[in-house]
Structure 1
Amino acid sequence: MGCSISPILFVAAFEVILIGAGKLVQKQLREGLEKIDSSQLPGKLKVWCYQFTLFQRVMWPLKVSEIPSSLVSRIDTISNTYIRKWLGLPRCFSDTGLFGKNALQLPLKSINLGYKQEKTRLVFELKESRDEAVKSAGVTVCTGPSRKPGEGRQKTGRTTCLLTPGKGWKTRVDLGTQLIFPTEITQTTLRPDVVVWATAAKKVLIIELTVPWEEGIPAAYEFKRLKYSDLVAECRDGGWTATILPVEVGCRGFVGKSAIQLLRAAGTTEVSLRRAIKELAEEAEKYLVYNRCYDTYQLSLKFERCLESDVVTFDILSEDSKLVFLHIDRYVEFHSQHGHYYKTRIPKFGRDFSYHYPSSDLYFVGASSEVFRLNLEQGRFLHSLLTDAAEINVCDINPVHQFFAAGTLEGRVDCWDPRVRSRVGVLDCALSSITNGTEVEGLPSVSALKFNGSLGMAVGTSTGQVLVYDLRSSRTLLVKDHYYGLPIKSLHFHNPLDLVLSADSKIIKMWNKDNGKVFSSIEPQANINDVCLYPGSGMLFTANEDPKMNTFYIPALGPAPRWCSFLENLTEELGENPESTIYDDYKFVTRKANLGKCLSA
């Protein structure tokens, strides 16, 4: 007696055996992931445990067993879900962001990639075996079919090219000049980022670029699509074939699927597509907003955190890394040791804030006549301080008697007593800053403010003057002009030498607070945003329009900090071997002085 079996039934039975082995691997992986997830370890350590223990344990059965690649893909999806959860990433975060060579570059390997590598390694082990019997046996490695039994192969279609050649396409971009939507299509006040249209074919493409936080990519896509839906309907009513194409590139450099679809719809080749994706990621990464904290004694980076939007200013509330960030989109973000803690929003756009330690109040000033008060102990906003100003630019709190001062757009400084919430004085700095020889084009506003002790105060104006006051008098003690006409951005007092350090975007000037005599000046190559003077030393840092902070050490101001005491030896060596320049024997005179000498001769 004999028996036979249909080839179709044999293939089906073989797939059942393979899938059974794969289900066992899937069960072991899921149990391991659940054990790691239930532990009390931080998310990063959970990922480490997975990558160097569970991942290696799963790779062996995947290598020796003939498991279908479709089942391996499902196993890979399970593990990636847990990795996103442990790293705090959104569900929409792509596998390319996790395992690809991009801005993040995590030291992770996907199960899918590991499966392919192990199978390739197995092929070479069999073909290049030292055992001639194995080498000549012609053993083949089978990964199993990647589709279910009975299913045919699905044809993979490519995205239809939207830009048909030879149609006379025109382009307008909302960059540099304000974009006006083509009137031949329709009239609207909306301003998309890019408009591409062909009059002959009556086709129009509306492209809108968004750079959101990765978690907000799906919401940003829907928001932009709904925003321009009425415009698309108007174009279609006029006989045009209109298409809205929202494009998202994550603020951390991860390119969304919508951007890839747009590039493919434009007829981009695969080589150019990969190059474009890389350039998009690099450009988005350049404008990331980072908060970096450095450990000076270790001369290393302590931690780095990425923020969602540009920061106007920030402050350190305590020594245990409690930080407050004021963003340009009215959000106030609080950070603790572990990272982001809480975020709230103030009623108007903020420009500066100060922390009042006795009452735990944050005072916010900005594009409003009110000074908003947020009490951190009660966790709520208190009654605002009302001023006569249209807008308030800067504020500061005296560290001795806790008076609150606010510099206004009209060039005044309002002083308040937080204990009674009443104004105790007003200084008119706009008129006081105008002296003989001062050229101003408009009314100066207050751009910088700094207290010195209990009675001293320096005020910087938007026209480049620095005014020194004694709070007991409304008259200025000294007016120092930078002569650049640029707003003063930073003010610091150096009490050991009775100096004032004032900075605009071009230069840092150090001068005596009593007579205005210049002590020194520094003119960096990049524009200055802020200056930080290291306490009790001659070192200062500048935040500037450059990838790196500038660091300056002036021995005449004070000694080097303990964590970089080697600078003392360097300066001594430079002092022992001075280098002469070609201008040492020259005497420079001004044009006015030179003209006077010529006339007298």
Structure 2
Amino acid sequence: MKSGERQPSGRAFMDDMTISTKTVIEARWTLQELDKMSTWARMKVKPSKYRSLVVKNGKVKEERFKIGDEIIPTVSQKPVKCLGKWFNNNLSDRLRVEDTYKQLEDWLKAVDKSGLPGKYKAWIYQHGILPRLLWPLLVYDVPMTTIEGMERISNGYLRRWLGVPRSFSSVGLYSLGSKLQLPLKSITEEFKVTKVRQHLMLKKAGMINEIVGRVAVGRQGLDVTPTAKWRTATVEGKRHLVQKEVRSMEEESRMVKAVSMKKQGSWLNWEGARQLKLSWNEIWKMEPNRLQFKLKSVYDVLPSPTNLATLGLIDDPKCILCSKPANLEHILSSCSSTLKDGRYTWRHDMVLGTLADTLERNFRKPRKNKEGLTFVNFVKEGEKGQKKSVEGSGILGTATDWQMLVDLKQKLQFPPQIAVTNQRPDIVIWSASTKQAILLELTVPWEERIQDANERKRLKYQDLLAECRDNGWRVWLFPVEVGSGGFVGQSIWRALRALGIVGGERSKLIGNLCKEAETSLMWLWRKRSEQWKQ
């Protein structure tokens, strides 16, 4: 550089160096030129931050270059990490995939040895291990067999942490369509969703909803559930549609697996029961062993005599109390000796007491009247009926002088001013000023028989309803069910809405009913081989 000339900036120097490397074929010549450069230039170049790679005839050669006295490390010596992916002289991802597999095992073992309760370990897997695992699975080319192997390992640890046997199906861990849903995610499902999110190659998947239309779920009416359309969706909306389609495909495969399992898939027959989706907050509040018992009872993996006989652990699968085959349904809902002893009645009364306490608090609290519910009077053929608007939020908001009788501890006597009958609904609420009456009949059946119980109770009180209406009373009958396993029926959700108990108050009541039924169920299971003691 001549005197008086302006010293080049660092960026200009790098541009000159780039032009030089483009015009020179031999890399060694470039290195010699670097050695001849000024001391200022050499101070800016840090060989330790560079990597070298020599490929001759398709093979990597261990040739090294120097800048001054410092050697530029090769990629094989010091791999480069960029955006979470390691680059070395091997163009294959096989070794990095194996390292990720081993890293997952190390993480799971470390959590397993931590000494924390099982539900805390499951939380660490969901919020700590799984998110850290997904990025390597995204940047590397991982075969599906490896992903399935990772999920098998994690499933084993999750079963141990949740206290369920090894035969417990993975459907119970990850399914979003089962009656009992856990806040856990499958590695396979998240891997597929992540890959789709990266490439967005399944754009046509989002159009399936437009072809099929809106699908009605359960007893919903046609075109009730709103769905986003692919044509009008934003870029982010299209991404969510694609991910949703992938998740639905994974859920469909779980449902197919559940159908093939006679015992652990028996919840598919619980048509009248509402789904129970557990959150982490609810799991934290559960008493010890409650979650473990809940999972085992829903998926029928408790050590009942029939299950033990199937595994060859005992020879006689009969009930100790009545000598009939003792499967889970028999022990918890159908044993004649237990029924005579009054255990099922005791469970029914425990749930009924919780329901009655909430109803009494609701109709006694002050309500702000407003235009609301509209009732339809059914009239005889040939007569004209009129629709009358009433004020209030639900039926309980239509009067202020409600009275209530509950069939607990002593036999309920039906109010004679309404009708004279020997029938005894579990709860009777009436208003003398408006001549309105509400009848609630609670049943605690096996979950598969919730629908049958509702229809049976509805038919049982038809004559009583007709007599009440003939006496000039407006009367409503609500047969409600809380399953013996702690799953409420759809009927109780609709009944509370009609009464005016909605929102957080309804959710809290249903949670209390489920907890009461679960507690009673655990007690019946522990005392299954003992005689009732008055």
| Range of TM-score over shorter length | 0.3 to 0.5
TM-score by length of structure 2 reads 0.34
Choose between structure 1 and 2: higher helix proportion: 2
Higher relative contact order (CA 8 A, sep 6+): 2
